[in-house]
Amino acid sequence: MKIGLGYDVHKLVKNRDLILGGVKINHEKGLLGHSDADVLLHSIMDALLGAASLGDIGRHFPDTDIQYKNISSLTLLKKVNDLINKKEYKIINIDCCIIAQRPKIFPYINEMKNNICSSLNITLDQLNIKATTEEGLGFTGKEEGISCQSICLLN
């Protein structure tokens, strides 16, 4: 068994779509990044890559490479799943926590879970997504950005 931990953060800016878990969320700001800046999927990918001792997403999908400009992180998640499968690992479970003052995440969690489970070929009971605020504290509490932490277990 191998455990992996992932973390990602992106700044909230105007004139960008807010994409979390492959779901476009109605919000006045979106996350700034080279790809779609999906912090949930980026943290999951880093957890999976870390557990498999395969580095991180920056190593596999550098932000200096034009082919990843505005790419859907669901596409990248499928590529990470291919890397995990090549090493013959099986995902046991993934647990994630999105940290954002706004918008409320709960209404979107089922769609996020469906997207992620489909991309990773896992069942819904192998994935947990939760969200929390920081009670107005820090950069997420001041709505300057959104972060996410993920942990996974591979066998």
Residue numbering of the annotated binding site for a divalent metal cation: 8, 10, 42
How many residues does this entry show for the chain?
A: 155
Helix (H) or strand (E) holding 107: none
Q: At CB < 8 A and 24+ separation, what contacts does 130-134 make? A: 130/95, 130/96, 130/97, 130/98, 131/97, 131/98, 131/99, 131/100, 131/104, 131/105, 131/106, 132/97, 132/98, 132/99, 133/99, 133/100, 133/101, 134/99, 134/101
Strands in the chain per DSSP E: 2-13, 18-20, 23-25, 30-31, 91-99, 127-132, 145-154
Binding-site residues? 8-10, 34-35, 42, 56-58, 61-65, 132-135, 139, 142
